[in-house]
Amino acid sequence: MLAINIENLYKRYRKQTVLKGVNLKIKEKEFYALMGPNGAGKSTLIGIIASVILPTKGKVEIYGKEPHLMKKIIGYVPQENFSSPTLTGRENLMYFARLMGYSKDKAKELVNEILERIGLSKDADKRVSKYSGGMRKRLEVVTAFFPNIKILILDEPTTGLDPSARGEFLGLIQEMKGEDKTILLVTHIGADAEIASKVGLMNEGKIVDEGSPEELKRKSGLKHVLSVETPIKSEKVRAVLSKFGENGLLETDRGYRIYCENAENVSPEIVRALDNIGCKIMRIEIEKPTLEDVFFKLTKKKMEDEMDECDNSNLQ
């Protein structure tokens, strides 16, 4: 059974068309990750599903009905920290439980259960302003844990979290995978999308490809990626490396990712070539492709905020 069915969806803001004919089908109990760079239209798409944004054209159905009729079963967690910092964790959850229609006693019972489950019982009566970023995010995500919620929609939940908080958070989401909830996770971080059963890659208002993480990697044809860390990043270094990346070259925070057919043979040549221009290599490693690599291969666009893609064809 389809939990979410979207056909030919368009959204236009004044002169800008953000969604350009999106088609998306998510089965009941499926864990679907929607991945794409900022500005791809992900948040607009889930905003429409959560009935926060109105579509311009197209069909959106939640279990065969219009989204605004299904608000009771949708748990939408926006990107922002929406919990009240002056209230305690327990008071925040009580507020949302009561808004969902639970009686005071039932709400208390549910909130206690949820707090126990996410390990926040001890800190439940502390004000949220005293919580760490990870604790606050966990609290906000569980506002979608109430039993009547069948579809959980998470918008970039790990943004701004430190690695340990991110790990904790993803653990919580993975736990939920086995439950009778459909999860739609929006992210621009490949590692977050890896835990999903199906991933949709979104670019410029369209879903350009979808499948399981393994399937997408297989389809991309990328077997290996060469990760090179250099102390400096410059035009000269990029020009040298681009000669080896016949499938593209991506500049990252730490260095470069080179998409080439024959990574093992190419590695010594890269070391030599960089040595010739006086650039030392801090680390060179053959890695398995990530979903970010798949996305780059498909769109020649970087998944992160800045779109400073380093397209091989531009450099040659």
Helix 133-141 vs helix 163-177: crossing angle, to nearest 10: 20
Minimum distance between the CB of residue 278 and another protein, rounded to whole angstroms?
Answer: 50
Q: Which of residues 14 and 122 has its CB atom nearest to another protein in the complex?
A: 14
CB of 76 to another protein, least distance (A): 4
Min CB(49)–another protein separation in Å:
9
| Phi, psi angle pair for 227, to nearest 5° | -100, 120
Residue owning tokens 């206690």 = 112
User: CB 166 → another protein: shortest distance, Å?
Assistant: 20
Nearer to another protein, 77 or 199 (CB): 77
- Of 98 and 223, the one with the shorter C-beta distance to another protein is 98
As measured in angstroms, the least distance from the Cβ of 274 to another protein is 46
Would you say 67 or 213 has its CB closer to another protein?
67
In angstroms, give the least distance from the CB of 200 to another protein.
21
CB closer to another protein, 11 vs 217: 11
* Residue 203: strand pairing partners: 206
- Per-residue tokens: 194: 């890896």
CB 272, CB 278: distance < 8 Å: no
Please identify which residue in the block is written with the tokens 């794409």: 36
For the CB of residue 107, give the shortest distance to another protein in the complex, in Å: 8
The crossing angle, in degrees rounded to 10, of helices 263-276 and 235-242 is 150
In the complex, minimum distance from the CB of residue 30 to another protein, in angstroms, rounded to a whole number: 20
> What are the residues binding another protein (CB under 8 A)?
13, 47, 50-54, 71-72, 74, 76-84, 86-87, 91, 94-96, 98-103, 127, 143
If the CB atoms of residues 72 and 117 are measured against another protein, the closer one turns out to be 72
Question: 8 vs 103, which CB is nearer to another protein?
Answer: 103
Per-residue buried b or exposed e for 138-177, using 16+ beta carbons within 10 Å of the residue's own CB: bbbbbbbbbeebbbbbbbbbbeebeeebbebbbebbeebe
Q: Where are the beta strands (DSSP E) in the chain?
A: 2-13, 16-27, 31-35, 57-62, 74-77, 151-155, 182-187, 198-203, 206-211, 225-229, 249-251, 255-258, 283-287
Tell me the β-bridge partners of 34: 186, 200
- Pick between residue 107 and residue 270 the one whose CB is nearest to another protein: 107
Using CA atoms, how far apart are residues 185 and 232, in angstroms rounded to an integer?
A: 35
SS3 41: coil
